[in-house]
Amino acid sequence: MVSSLIAVDWGSTNLRVKLVVEGELLESRECGQGIKNVGEAAFEDILYSLCGDWKTQRPELPVVMSGMIGSREGWVEVPYCRTAIGIEALVGELVPVQTQALGELLLVPGLRHDFTDGTTDVMRGEETEVLGLLAGVRDEQVTVCGPGTHSKWVNCQAGEIVSFRTWFTGEAFEKLTQDSLISGSCEGLGRDIDEGAFVRGLEHSGRTGGLLHHLFLGRTDMLTKRVSAEHLPSLISGVLIGHEIREARKFAIGQVHLIENNRSAELYGKAFDYFEIAYLRSAQDVHLAGIMALMKQG
């Protein structure tokens, strides 16, 4: 059982490292060098610049990484593990990565779920967060909602991840509010969400006509002065999140748990309230909890 380590959360846009000694988080650092922003730099050099001093001072500490760093575009492409899977099985699939300056690193593989209709869904990084949340949950069946660039809904039974689905919600919002007829005013992008416009977007998501029509209603709402240009991003957020939740709740099983580790989580909470979906909030550092749970099994 390992209670001291360096945990690495290396995603598409950000890199976060955490120093844990005897089960206590001593320090955390982060930078914007996710795998999309690495450029010509070597992965080992980037990681060493962020936490090399920790490893130098405590060479015995294992370094455990998860996230998109194990993708095709990352440091080492790690094959996906197939569902259903829990912590004990996933520990046996950790992949070692050899480095000169940091020694051996351990990389958590992502997960793959194949549906009976011939489609496949994948995740990298979220499996660690979900397993971290499950470590503190006793319910037999739960669904974990992880908002983000690619929002995940993960069905779990008896401590195992059994199936999951991804929604393109966050990335769609980013693109639609940058340069389109429904992007609204530039001033609106940096401001807080307008609740009235957001709820109107949730309402639109239940109308006839489908998602593409509902998105265009943002344009007509602005033209008819029902929603200001400044608040159009709030309405578009409501439309996208509304469509996601309307579909995802058909997929969910058991108690819904909402991971609150980004700004989007508050909006999902508002949407759950609007749709009268009972849910529990998880504000803990589920990524670190997942890394610790994996290493306790090792």
Rounded CA-CA distance 183/175 in Å is 9
Q: Are strands 5-10 and 15-21 parallel, antiparallel or unpaired?
A: antiparallel
Q: Please state, as a whole number, how many other Cβ atoms lie within 10 Å of the Cβ of residue 196.
A: 14
Helix (H) or strand (E) holding 43: helix 43-57
* Average pLDDT value for residue range 13-23: 95
Decide if pLDDT at 189 tops 80. no
Q: Is 294 helix (H, G, I), strand (E, B) or coil?
A: helix
Joined together, the tokens standing for residue 153 give: 């809904």
Beta strands of 61-205 (E only): which ranges? 63-66, 81-82, 95-98, 104-107, 111-114, 120-123, 141-146, 151-157, 160-167
Q: How confident is the model at residue 186 (pLDDT cuts 50, 70, 90)?
A: low
In this predicted model, what pLDDT tens digit does every residue of 105-143 receive, in sequence order? 999 999 999 999 999 999 999 999 999 999 888 888 999
Residue keyed to tokens 């010509």:
40
In this predicted model, what pLDDT tens digit does every residue of 193-234 receive, in sequence order? 899 999 999 999 999 999 999 999 999 999 999 999 999 999
Question: What is the sign of the dihedral through the CA atoms of 48, 51, 56 and 62?
Answer: negative
In this predicted model, what pLDDT tens digit does every residue of 150-164 receive, in sequence order? 999 999 999 999 999
Q: For 239-255, give the DSSP string.
A: HHHHHHHHHHHHH--SE
Domains along the sequence of the chain with CATH: 1-114 (3.30.420.300), 125-286 (3.30.420.310)
Rounded CA-CA distance 271/248 in Å is 12
Model pTM? 0.92
Contacts of residue 23, Cβ cutoff 8 Å, sequence gap at least 6: 3, 4, 292
